[in-house]
Chains A and B, each alone.
Chain A
Amino acid sequence: MLTSGIILLAGSLLSPNPGLIFWTAVTFVIVLLILKKIAWGPILNALEEREKGIQSSIDRAHQAKDESEAILRKNRELLAKADAESDRIIREGKEYADKLRTDFTEKAQAEAKKMIATAKDEIEQEKRRALDVLRNEVADLAVMGAEKIIKTALDADMQKKIVDSMIQDLSTKRN
Chain B
Amino acid sequence: MKRVNVIQAKAFFKVVALLALLLLNANGLAFALTENASGVPQNTPTTATAEPVAVPAAVAHAPEEEKAGEVIMHHILDNNVFSFEPFGSVNLPKIIVGGFDISITKHVVMLWVVSAILLIIFSIVGSKYKKMTSRQAPKGIVNAMEALVEFIRTDVAKANIGPGYEKYLTYLLTVFFFVLLCNLLGLVPYGATATGNINVTLTLATFTFFITQVAALKAHGLKGYLAHLTGGTHPALWIIMIPIEFIGLFTKPVALTIRLFANMTAGHIVILSLIFISFILKSYIVAVVMSVPFSIFIYLLELFVAFLQAFIFTMLSSLFIGLASAHEGNEAHEAGVAHH
6 A–B contacts, CB within 8 A, in A order = A5-B26, A17-B199, A19-B95, A28-B203, A40-B170, A47-B149
Interface hits, A141-159 → B, CB 8 Å: none
Interface contacts beyond A23-B111, A28-B203: sample of 10 additional A-B pairs, CB < 8 Å, sorted by A: A4-B26, A4-B30, A9-B22, A19-B105, A23-B104, A25-B207, A27-B111, A28-B175, A31-B119, A42-B130
User: What are the residues of chain A within 8 A of B85 when measuring CB–CB?
Assistant: none
User: What are the residues of chain B within 8 A of A35 when measuring CB–CB?
Assistant: 118-119, 122, 170, 173-174, 177
> A1-B27, A30-B115 known; A42 and B129 CB under 8 Å?
yes
Please report whether the interface of chain B is mostly helix, strand, loop or mixed according to DSSP: helix
Cβ-defined partner of A20 (8 Å) among B27, B175, B178, B199: B199
Q: How far is the CB of A84 from chain B (nearest CB, A)?
A: 48
In the complex, what distance in Å separates the CA atom of A14 from the CA atom of B122? 33
Report the interface size class on chain B. 35 or more
Cβ-defined partner of B77 (8 Å) among A12, A31, A38: A12
User: What are the residues of chain A within 8 A of B171 when measuring CB–CB?
Assistant: 32
Do A18 and B102 touch across chains, with their CB atoms under 8 A apart?
Answer: yes
Q: Which residues of B contact A (CB under 8 A)?
A: 22-23, 25-27, 29-30, 69, 73, 76-78, 95, 100-105, 107-108, 111-112, 115, 118-119, 122-123, 125-127, 129-130, 132, 134-135, 145-146, 149-150, 153, 166, 169-171, 173-175, 177-178, 194, 197-200, 202-204, 207, 265
Please report whether the interface of chain A is mostly helix, strand, loop or mixed according to DSSP: helix
Residue of A nearest to B269 (CB): A13
Do B100 and A31 touch across chains, with their CB atoms under 8 A apart?
Answer: no
> Is A61 positioned at the interface, with any CB of B under 8 Å from its CB?
no
Q: Which residues of A contact B (CB under 8 A)?
A: 1-2, 4-5, 8-9, 12-14, 16-25, 27-28, 30-32, 34-36, 38-47, 49-50, 53
User: What are the residues of chain A within 8 A of B73 when measuring CB–CB?
Assistant: 8, 12-13
Residue of A nearest to B265 (CB): A13
In the complex, what distance in Å separates the CA atom of A44 from the CA atom of B157? 13
> A23-B111, A43-B126, A47-B146 known; A31 and B170 CB under 8 Å?
no
Do A21 and B202 touch across chains, with their CB atoms under 8 A apart?
Answer: yes
> A13-B265, A17-B78, A46-B129 known; A40 and B111 CB under 8 Å?
no
Q: How far is the CB of A60 from chain B (nearest CB, A)?
A: 14
Closest 5 A/B residue pairs (Cβ): A39-B122, A1-B30, A42-B129, A19-B102, A39-B126
User: What are the residues of chain A within 8 A of B23 when measuring CB–CB?
Assistant: 5
In the complex, what distance in Å separates the CA atom of A22 from the CA atom of B103? 10
In the complex, what distance in Å separates the CA atom of A53 from the CA atom of B132? 14
Cβ-defined partner of A46 (8 Å) among B112, B134, B202: B134
